[in-house]
Amino acid sequence: MNKNIDTKKIIISNPLKLDCGKEINNFPIAYETYGKLNSEKSNAILVFHALTGDQYVSGKNPITNKDGWWSYVVGENKPIDTNKFFVICANVMGGCMGSYGPSTINESTGKQIGTDFPIITINDMVNAQYELIKYLEIEKLFAVVGGSMGGMQVLQFVANFPDKAKLAIPIACTSSHSAQNIAFNELGRQAIMADSKWENGFYSNYKLNPDKGLAVARMAAHITYLSEKGLQEKFGRKLQDRDSLRYGFEADFQIESYLRYQGSVFVDRFDANSYLYITRAMDYFDLSKQYKGNLSDAFKKTKTKFFVISFTSDWLYPTSENREIVIALNSVGADVGFVEIESDKGHDSFLLDVPSFLKTLGDYINSTYKIINERRI
């Protein structure tokens, strides 16, 4: 949580007008890169992370000491092979891994910005990351890729910059947050704000942390990332380190213990205010509304090739919502492929070892890279 993280960072001096109306400048965007940019600068892939992700896509995450969040997908000899591609990932604006967010220190007060941080949107996040691409002097990305909120950023990126990526791969996402999505996010926010240690968002001034609220938020959200079948198969009614029920409120069941653990490790690496701001940005995301109710207009000018992927057991961003993106793209004659991958692992499938997903994604990226390079588009 911005504990003096030694991370790559640029300070963006160009003023950026946020959707909320506020203008910001001289703000940090933290990022990480993997692999090497080739001399033609034609092998760059921008990866967008999801709600609780960060710039550490692959290798060891220096903060958590665990594998990067997309280690199954990005790395040497992985589907997005860093021997071949130059992979860039930035911590989103609003995040807590070095980019401009509520835990950034306000230099004039020496305190964290807290809830004085402006409300940000997916559009703002994408515009900030575009500054990073300019800073890296990449004229055209080979691909923009991301799952969940990362997929929303993919869609927004292509809508904002129709000629800046040859290929776009939005995975397990939506073009507009549904009532159910907003409902679960609101539940998480209320859990944080109900924690007496939240202090209206200025907890760091009192050396407090609303960790109980944040843990509950994470536990609730975590359920939405899994499938009923997956939960039942993994946990069922199995008991945790005991042979019989204890007639109390301890974690009798393995699923309870698992969720408590997920909550507790999350609070060590994530800032409660970031959770509020980023979930809000997701809730505000409605790409079709940005284009007066016509989603296809978002892609009217694009020459980008699209590959949309959904998962059978994902009920958070179900196939039907991913299909709407495909339909909008088809209606403007965009080049779009689509597949729904069979998986019991729920929304989290895009982060996990799902062989048919990893194979299809890797083969598609590599064949398309070859085809596009041969054609020299």
Which parts of this chain interact with other proteins (CB under 8 A)?
305, 307, 326-327, 330-331, 333, 335-342, 356, 359-360, 363-364, 367-368, 370-371, 375
Q: Is 163 a catalytic residue?
A: no
Nearest approach in angstroms of CB 31 to other proteins is: 29
Taking the least distance from each CB to other proteins, the nearer of 61 and 343 is 343
Nearest approach in angstroms of CB 43 to other proteins is: 16
Measured CA to CA, the distance from residue 334 to residue 170 in angstroms comes to 14
> Which residue out of 124, 314, 344, 348 is catalytically annotated?
314
Measured CA to CA, the distance from residue 296 to residue 190 in angstroms comes to 35
Nearest approach in angstroms of CB 372 to other proteins is: 9
Q: Is 177 a catalytic residue?
A: no
78-101 residues labelled b (16+ CB within 10 A) or e (exposed) = bbbbbebbbbbbbbbbbbbbbbbb
- Where do runs of H (alpha helix) occur along the chain? 122-135, 149-160, 179-194, 211-225, 228-234, 254-269, 272-284, 287-290, 319-331, 355-375
> Which residue out of 176, 271, 347, 348 is catalytically annotated?
347
Nearest approach in angstroms of CB 368 to other proteins is: 5
Residue 138: CA atoms inside 13 Å, Cβ hemisphere, count? 27
Nearest approach in angstroms of CB 370 to other proteins is: 7
Q: 275, 109, 116, 96: which is closest to 200 by C-alpha?
A: 116
> Which residue out of 148, 204, 227, 310 is catalytically annotated?
148
Tokens representing 361 are 């994604």
Taking the least distance from each CB to other proteins, the nearer of 194 and 377 is 377
Taking the least distance from each CB to other proteins, the nearer of 38 and 356 is 356
Taking the least distance from each CB to other proteins, the nearer of 225 and 307 is 307
Measured CA to CA, the distance from residue 117 to residue 154 in angstroms comes to 24
CA Rg, the chain, in Å?
Answer: 20
Taking the least distance from each CB to other proteins, the nearer of 204 and 368 is 368
SS3 sequence of 102-153:
CCCEECCCCEECHHHCCCCCHHHHHHHHHHHHHHCCCCCEEEEEEECHHHHH
Residues tagged active-site:
148, 314, 347
